[in-house]
Amino acid sequence: MAYPLLIALSLAMLQQPATAPQTAAPAAPPTARYCLRVDPTTGSKMETIRCETRDTWASMDVNVDVEWAAWGVRVVTTTPSG
């Protein structure tokens, strides 16, 4: 009977930890822009995503590595075309 083996494999899969969420922002070049969810503008319920370099976030007293786990969306490494 294969049932005990199947149960054992199922239990083993349940005991494996899920992939840990990323806690710090990913490494990227200095010109990369880190996109974070920010509070919507007053009177709006639309989610707002703002993309800034690490230096710009730091000038606004935002530590990207601390905020990334909760609010990080993506890292943009290409320059926007004008």
Give me the pLDDT at residue 6, please.
41
pTM to 2 decimal places: 0.65
Angle at 14 between CA 8 and CA 20, to 5 degrees: 145
Work out the burial of residue 34: count CB atoms within 10 Å of its CB; fewer than 13 is exposed, 13-18 middle, 19 or more buried: buried
- How far apart are the C-alpha atoms of 4 and 12, rounded to whole Å? 12
CB 73 within 8 A of CB 49: yes
pLDDT tens string 14-63? 555 555 556 789 999 999 999 999 988 788 878 889 999 999 999 999 99
